[in-house]
Every structure is written in structure tokens, then in C-alpha cells.
Amino acid sequence: TNPLDIKAIRNDFPILSRTVYNRPLIYLDNAATTQKPRCVVEAIENVYYNQNSNIHRGVHYLSQRATEAHEAARATVRDFIHATSSNEIIFTRGTTEAINLLATSYGETFCNENDEIIISTMEHHANIVPWQMLRDRKGIKLKIIPLTETGELDIPAFESLFSEKTKLISVTHVSNVLGTINPIKEIIEKAHARNIPVLIDGAQAVSHLAVDVQQLDVDFYVFSGHKVYGPNGIGVLYGKENWLEMLPPYHGGGEMIAHVSFDKTIFADLPFKFEAGTPDYVGSVALATALNYLQSFGMDNIAAYEKSLLEDATEKMLKIEGMQIFGNAPQKSSVISFLVNNIHPFDMGTLLDKLGIAVRTGHHCAMPLMTALQIDGTARASFAFYNTHDEIDAFIAAIERITKMF
């Protein structure tokens, strides 16, 4: 029996009861972005209607309430990922900005010509391009962890990439294409044995599994609010306090200073040093609302239910003739990339759409992975805890119907 009341949960997400082309919407594009529960939208409304005011240093009532709410949101994020201190939680615009922050701040400070950064074949462009830009500025080298047949990181190959010049490991927690849940604790241990820090891209992880940055002993962990039922436009950089103390600011401006004269600026303490400009005090509160909402169900219950969706869908899909699924790691999140015969993924996606089913098609911002798999793209269904086994049956029936058309 499922401890989650999926019907009640679905009622929390107004968009799930809408139709597209007169058919009930079946939303299977959760890896791209998740839908928002009513409480998150209402949190945004409440800030604007009742406490909107620029935060920090405000003497007036509203500014103080807004500041308290923003800092309480930071504490909620801290607790959600089990960080030690709120000083370790930096609000960014998302995963992408968090990685760019580190590529600049860490990269410019700790990387010199011929130093090496290790990433993997399964990275999203957000965890490739910022490092390439650093490479072009500083003359560093990128080393790439290859994958195994099942779409897992090749750990022995990873270990052979370490050298005296290695300055950082940056890998994804969960692949947005293959669904692979990487053994990041093992990776972090191996890196730390050589005194190398690790950055984990948690964009595809935080909505699916419990993350404990202290237990992982990870140096940097980043994620986006919009993929964890929160609003678009806000994300999080977690960094160990001693690392963040050592890093210079990324953006300059208001909020991130202690004192400014034309000769010299003294930067603010953590976490403000990394938060130039008016913070997204609406997004932070809405993100905290989403995290509290998610946690009210228990991450383990969510993970168990999503696993049942993944297993159900995988088993049924594999019965379809010509079905090819990319990524079959034993530790896998609820993402299925697939191709059927030689049906172009764009055609598959378009025809599914006409039946009310939203999936993503293409390279999924992971072109080097597509090259490694020797394909141009896939169709991708990704499940959230509000999806149902009935929706999976409708999805399977739709693929069967489309397959017969070709």
C-alpha cells in the first residue's frame, strides 16, 4: 500500500486537471520542470499582497517582515539538505548560475594553466560549458569520465584520470537523460583521499531522493528551485563554509558589501558576499514552501512510489517491439529516455502531444552524451510523485498506437 494519497496530491496541483486538445493532460516532462502546488503559488501571492518590500537594512515594518521571511527560507533550505549553517546556503538564479559562480570564483582562484578538472560524459551543458569557458580563459584541461554499457560512471576509469594537476571533480548526482543515480559518496571519498574538492550537480536529484550534504561530505552542491516544485528563477549553491570563506565574490554590487569607498570595498560576510543586488525574496519564500510541502510526504515515500512508476513503465515499455531504452543502471531515478524502431523522437513527441501526453524530445542539453550513445536524440518521459499508474498505461497505449502508424 502506498502511504501517499496520490489523488489528494494531484488536487494540490491545479494544472494537472486541465485538458490539452480536449484530452486530460498527462504531464511526463518533470525532469525539465515540475508543476507547482497551490501552496507555492499562494506563497508568491502572499509575499506580493502582504509583505512586499526590499529586504535587509530596512527600518520599516514590511522590510523587516520580508527580511525575516527570506532568512527563514534560507534556514529551510539549510535543513532540507542538512547543511550545518545558513552561511553555507547561497541563493542563485538556478543550477546554471551556481555552476558559473564556481567556475569563475573557484576556477579563477584555484586553477592555473594545465590544471585539470574532471567532469563526466553524462553532464548537462550547464556542467560543461562554464568549465570550457574557464579552460579558454585559464588554459586548464577537462578530463572526461567515460560511461559503462548500462550508463553508469566507469569508476576505475575515473580513478585513472586523477593526477597531480586535478583541481576539482564536478559531476551530476542524477543524469537527466539516463536517470542514473551516481555513487557520489564513493566519488567524494576517492577525491578527498587526494585532497580534491567535489561539486555535485543536484538538479535532477533533490526532487527524488533525500540529500544530506554532511553525510555526503560534499564540498559544493547545487540545484534549481523549479525542478523541486518551487518557482522558476531561484536556485541554491551549497558550499562548505571554509570553502566559501576562501572564494572571492562572483558579482559585485549592493547587498554584498560591508563598506565601499572609491579606493576599496570590504565585502560582506557569508552568505551575502555571493548575493549581489536585490535578492529574490519572493522566490526564496516560495522555494521554502515547496521544500516544506515535499518533506511533509517524506522523501523516502516519494522515492519508493516513483520507483514503482519507473518499474511499471520500464516493464511495459520493453514489451513494445523495437523499443530501446537508454540507461538501465540498477540505481535509477524516474526518467526514461527511449527510441522506438526508427521513429524520429520529434515525431514521437509530437504525436504523443496530440494525445495529451507531454514528453521531451531531442538532445536534452547533453549533446556529448548523445555523441557517446551515437544518436541524435531521444524521447524522454520523466515521472513525478503526482503521476499515476493509469497515466503510464495511457502513455504505453499511446506509444503502441503511434508505433503502428509507422
* CB 293, CB 8: distance < 8 Å: no
The one among 30, 96, 180, 207 contacting ligand PMP by CB under 6 A: 96
DSSP string, 210-254: ---HHHHT-SEEEEEGGGGTS-TT-EEEEE-HHHHHHSPPSS-ST
Q: Does 230 bind ligand PMP (CB under 6 A)?
A: no
Q: Does 384 bind ligand PMP (CB under 6 A)?
A: no
Strand pairing report for 23-24 and 19-20: antiparallel
- In this chain, which stretch among 37-45, 90-98, 269-277, 350-358 interacts with ligand PMP, using CB under 6 A? 90-98
Rounded least distance, CB 401 to ligand PMP, Å: 29
Closest CA to 211 of 190, 191, 177, 236: 236
Is 39 tagged catalytic?
no
The one among 16, 134, 168, 203 contacting ligand PMP by CB under 6 A: 203
Closest CA to 77 of 268, 257, 280: 280
- Of 365, 367, 372, 375, the catalytic one is 365
Rounded least distance, CB 193 to ligand PMP, Å: 26
- In this chain, which stretch among 123-131, 275-283, 322-330, 398-406 interacts with ligand PMP, using CB under 6 A? 123-131
* CB 202, CB 224: distance < 8 Å: no
Rounded least distance, CB 30 to ligand PMP, Å: 11
**Which residues are CB-contacts of 145 (< 8 A; sequence separation ≥ 6)?**
118, 119, 120, 121, 153, 154, 157, 158, 161, 171
- In this chain, which stretch among 22-30, 61-69, 120-128, 153-161 interacts with ligand PMP, using CB under 6 A? 120-128
**C-alpha–C-alpha distance, residues 406 and 403, integer Å:** 6
Nearer to ligand PMP, 31 or 351 (CB): 31
Q: Does 379 bind ligand PMP (CB under 6 A)?
A: no
Q: Does 361 bind ligand PMP (CB under 6 A)?
A: no
Which sign does the torsion angle of CA 230, 231, 232, 236 carry?
A: negative
Residues that bind ligand PMP (CB under 6 A): 94-96, 124, 126-127, 172, 176, 201, 203-204, 224, 365
Q: Which residues are catalytic?
A: 365
